[in-house]
Every structure is written in structure tokens, then in C-alpha cells.
Amino acid sequence: MFLGAIDIGGTKTIVAVCDEKGNIIEMENFPTENGDWMVHFRITAEKFIQCVNKLQIDINEDLSGIGINVPGMVDENGILIYAPHQNWRDVHVKDYFSNYFKTDKIIVENDVNSCAVGEMIFGGGGHDFLWITISTGNGGAIIANGQLIRGNQSCAGEFGHLKVEFESPRKCSCGQYGCLEAHSSGTAIKEQFEEALLYDLNLKETVLNKQIKDEKFKIDAYGLSLLAREGNSVAIDIFTRTGMYLGRAISYGVNISNPQTVYLGGGIAESLDLILPAIIMELDKCAIEECGKVTICKTKLGYNAAIIGASALVYLQKDILANL
């Protein structure tokens, strides 16, 4: 049994075939064409067929289904309601690929929801957990009672827009103020790094020295994590605040759904050691005792969480679930 997997991301698209345990057997990635969705979907479908052909297997006979991630909200009919990065609206993703591949075993899901499904099916994630991505922006997903919680309009898990600061809120790309994404995303860390450079001459000198030694050094979240690890107090402060606000958002999530684990994915999760103490301190203050005793860790799926998650979507088909 093989699982088809397609991950259409904001900048990159991946097509893959996995075995029944979510191990990637064949994979290819290429840039996402952000213009006409139909142009990009056609390229994607052809790349996927090439991927399948390399393995000398047949889409209809050898694949149990094809899971497809899209970077936006998806309704229960596999329609992409809105993808902010591409500005795609009301795209009939399931219909398009069903027609192209001549199969009805197409499952379309939001990319973060897929990561959570992957964590449950292949990562041993358990029956009750949160999945939060900390990357350019923040997203989230909830598994409760062993099921993905999609909500009434498929918008559940919007952790990035939980309000975590009311007195000195930063403006968020969504137009509101004080969102987690405005305070604790890769973008927020980069912005705070840039702001600190405006008033802190010591930091500016440190960065200039860094850039002389290493021309790849960038003023971004990764660059700041290098400074924090060297003991730079401004960098440590920014990561501590990032963790504190994440702790607030997580406290809302754990008080509401009482998960066993919170999995963190996305680039900033690689700096978990820099933010975890502040997360835990804020959880101690903000979560009720029983709910605050939650395990917080990086995704077990690693860097390929999204494409592995896409392959896991195949297991959400009812006939397959019944045979699990």
C-alpha cells in the first residue's frame, strides 16, 4: 500500500509517495507559482504523476489515496476558501485533482491540520493534543477525542490570532492588535531584532562584527538565535518575550481543550530551548494546575512534517479508518 502526498505551500510545493507508515519513498519539490492556481495545479499534477511513474506503480491501483495540503482554509468539500499568500479564493481543489487523476480518493486539508493528523497517525501523538506552527506566521490545529477539530466553518485552530497583549499590542498582518503572530512569530522576532538595532549601538556593533566574519549572517530570527546562544542579552530578551506570549496562547489552549501534549513545528521550533523556560513560567501563571501539566515538544515528524501529514490524510477516509 502506498500513500500519495502533495503539499502546496506558500513558496514551495512538494509531491511525494510514501509507504503505509509515512516514510517518504519518492519526493520532488519545486517553487509554488503564485499566479493562476490552475497553472500551478497542472504543473503539480504532472510532477506527481512523474513521481508515481518513477516507482512504476499506478495511481488508481497502488495508492490508497492522495492527501493534498493547501496553505489556507478548506471546507468539508475540499474547497480552498482562501489562501492569503496567493490570494486564491474558492478553489475547488478536490474536484480539480479528482478529475485530473481520475480518482475520488482525494483528501484536501489545511497544511497545519495535516501536520496534526500526521502527528496522530505516524508520530504517536495521542488522542488529545495541540499542534502549533511558529514560522513566518503562526497556525495551529487541535486533535481531541482522536479527531481533527475543524469547527463550524473549518476555521478552528487559529492560534496565531489569539490575543496575548492588550496594553502594548503590536499590529498584526490581519489588521487586529496583540495577536500571537504579531508577538511570537518569525516575522515578529525579525521586527523586534530590527527595532533593537535602531536604539542599541552595542547590538549594532555585534551584528556588524558577525557580518564581517560570516557574510551569510542575516538580521532575522535565525540570526538572532545565534546571538542568543552566545549570551547576547537583547537577543535573549526577545526570545524570552516570544516564549512568554506563546505560553499565554498555550494557556488558553490547554485550559480550553486539556491536551496531553503541545507539538511545535516551523522554523522557530528549532529554537525551543531558547523559549521553553518562558513558556513554562507563563503556563504556571496562566493555566489551571491540571491543564498546565502538559508536555511541550517539537514535532516528531521533523522537517518534513507537512508532506508526511499530507500522506496521513489518506487514513481519514472512512473505509480505511474502519480497517485500521
Minimum separation from the CB atom of position 227 to its own copies (A): 28
What is the separation of C-alpha 228 from the centre of its chain, rounded to a whole number of angstroms? 24
Minimum separation from the CB atom of position 154 to its own copies (A): 7
Q: Give the interface with its own copies as residue ranges (CB under 8 A).
A: 73, 126-128, 140, 142, 144-145, 147, 149-159, 161-163, 165-167, 174, 176-177, 248, 251-253, 255-260, 285-288, 290-291
Minimum separation from the CB atom of position 148 to its own copies (A): 8
Nearest residue (CB) to its own copies, 62 versus 75: 75
Minimum separation from the CB atom of position 8 to its own copies (A): 21
Nearest residue (CB) to its own copies, 224 versus 283: 283
Minimum separation from the CB atom of position 122 to its own copies (A): 20
Nearest residue (CB) to its own copies, 34 versus 258: 258
Burial class from Cβ neighbours inside 10 Å (0-12, 13-18, 19+) for residue 250 reads buried
Listed in sequence order, the residues at least 6 apart from 206 whose beta carbon sits closer than 8 Å to its beta carbon are 227, 232
Nearest residue (CB) to its own copies, 73 versus 310: 73
Nearest residue (CB) to its own copies, 7 versus 128: 128
Nearest residue (CB) to its own copies, 11 versus 176: 176
Evaluated on CA atoms 111, 31, 67, 27, the torsion sign reads negative
Nearest of 124, 131, 186, 189 to residue 159 by alpha carbon:
131
Minimum separation from the CB atom of position 147 to its own copies (A): 5
Nearest residue (CB) to its own copies, 40 versus 248: 248
Q: How large is the C-alpha radius of gyration of the chain?
A: 20
Minimum separation from the CB atom of position 207 to its own copies (A): 32
Rounded (5°) CA angle 96-97-101: 130
